[in-house]
A and B are shown apart, each in its own frame.
Chain A
Amino acid sequence: MAVTIDPIHQFELKPLVSLGHIGHQQLAFTQSALYMFAAVGVIALITVVATASRSVVPGRMQSLAEIFYEFIADTLHQATGDGGKRFMPLVFSLFMFVLILNLFGMIPYAFAVTSHLIITFGLAALVISVVVIYGVMKHGTHFFGLFVPSGVPKPLLAILVPIEIISFISRPISLSVRLFANVLAGHIAMKIFAFFVVQLLLAGAWSVLSPLPLFLTIALTALEFLVAALQAYVFATLTAIYLNDALHPGH
């Protein structure tokens, strides 16, 4: 019974085309990159191909694209008001990208791109860069008023300003770790519970208990679908909230 559990194996990058090295870094077209481009393809299928007819009465796919659009437009509008419209392509792209990559991860044997911290961190860093660059361009030094809460006594500011700065710096970290950790932990949990089924089936009389982890695996799978959609939504919402700071830095 040499069945060994390896819940980590699923996260390994597999170079499909190796492109050489730059120092320590290995350059390769991996399955992760393939999934990312596949996600772009699927999103383009929903939002570009399905809307090509521009029907007034939409078909299923066009309806889907419209629902996503209105959902993100509403979320963005609630967080940022009218000024946030210019960030619609960014927030919409982020939401669709994370959502489709998360859902790809739910396909058996598929690779969960968002389980890699560097990917989620790259997206979070993009968001924070946009917030800082746009904020400074639009408001100049006034943007840094973001760290100075108004209506607070001067002595308190000495404590509050560092806290505000730390909380701002921790945003890209929390944004990226939240998504990465959810996907990673979910996939590991599913793998482990699914593995328990196999292990129990091979354990003689204990195999009568094997339905228990099976049911748990099914429940976890449902939960992971929820997490996949929810985390994409959370990512988009937090992006919109952070962008609001760039648009209206006054506290």
Chain B
Amino acid sequence: MAQPNPLTTPPPGADTQLVPGHVEHAEAHSGAFPPFETSGFLSQLIWLALAFGLLYYLMDKVALPRIQAILHARAERLRADLDQAQAMKAEADAAGIAYETALRDAQGKARDIAQTTRNELAAEADAKRKALETELNAKLATAEATIRARTEAAMGNVRSIAGEAASAIVERLTGQAPDSATLDRALDATAH
């Protein structure tokens, strides 16, 4: 498929396409169909080559490198700006995190202080309460001991009174005082 120069030598297939043109050309002077007027082909190809060559040169050497440079510069600029924005955002985020950390620390510290104070106060109150309780318990024990002593004393008195009364009653009834052993036995029996 290597043609010597397709620009001036149309491939074999093209000839069949151009057949109507050739036919038209046979009567060219009586107004042939202008696009198939072969007498202008060489001239048109030459001007096409010159114009398109010039265009290609301009595009290749000037226009496209410049547009590419513009687009590249813009992309760079956008990237740089985005990077900067990203960096700033990171900075702001870091500041936010630092603030939150500080806040959390402060809150923790405050909570600790409050807790310590509360604990201290509670311990103090507890100690006071215990001291008071001990004191009261002691007082209570003393009072109970006193009551018990008094009760025992009273109970002792009751026994002697009951003995005396019993012996007096027995003496009156029988005319004879019971001996103390019998009296004690009787008292014990009634006491329990």
Residues of A within 8 A of B (CB): 8, 11-13, 19, 22, 24-30, 32-33, 36-37, 39-40, 43-44, 47-48, 51, 54-56, 58, 62, 65-66, 69-70, 88-90, 92-93, 96-97, 115-119, 121-123, 125-126, 128-129, 132, 136, 144, 147, 165-166, 168-170, 172-173, 177, 180, 184
Q: Is the CB of B3 within 8 A of A129?
A: yes
Partner of B40, one of A30, A97, A125, A170: A30
Count of inter-chain pairs, beta carbons less than 8 A:
171
Q: Is the CB of A51 within 8 A of B70?
A: yes
- Report the bound CA distance from A8 to B33 in whole Å: 7
**Chain A nearest CB: distance from B24 CB in Å?**
11
> What A residues does B7 contact at CB under 8 A?
122, 125-126, 129
Q: Which residue of A lies closest to B41 (CB)?
A: A118
- Report the bound CA distance from A30 to B35 in whole Å: 14
Q: Is the CB of B34 within 8 A of A97?
A: no
Interface string of B45-72 (1 = CB under 8 A from A): 1111101101110111011101111110
Partner of B47, one of A32, A97, A165: A32
Q: Which 10 A-B pairs have the closest CB atoms?
A: A33-B47, A47-B63, A36-B51, A89-B60, A125-B6, A25-B42, A11-B34, A12-B34, A40-B55, A69-B67
Number of B positions contacting A (CB below 8 A): 52
**Chain A nearest CB: distance from B173 CB in Å?**
141
Q: Show 30 A/B contacts (Cβ-Cβ < 8 Å), sorted by A.
A: A11-B35, A22-B42, A24-B39, A25-B39, A26-B40, A27-B46, A28-B43, A43-B58, A44-B58, A54-B69, A54-B73, A56-B73, A56-B74, A66-B71, A69-B67, A92-B59, A93-B56, A96-B55, A97-B52, A116-B35, A118-B35, A118-B45, A122-B44, A126-B7, A129-B6, A166-B13, A170-B13, A173-B14, A180-B35, A184-B35
- Report the bound CA distance from A236 to B40 in whole Å: 26
With A8-B34, A173-B14 as given contacts, are A48 and B62 in contact (CB-CB < 8 Å)? yes
**Chain B nearest CB: distance from A184 CB in Å?**
6
With A27-B42, A90-B56, A169-B1 as given contacts, are A65 and B67 in contact (CB-CB < 8 Å)? yes
Q: 14 other contacts beyond A69-B64, A170-B13, with CB at 8 A cut-off? A: A22-B42, A29-B47, A32-B47, A37-B47, A43-B55, A48-B58, A89-B64, A117-B35, A118-B40, A118-B45, A122-B44, A129-B3, A129-B6, A129-B7
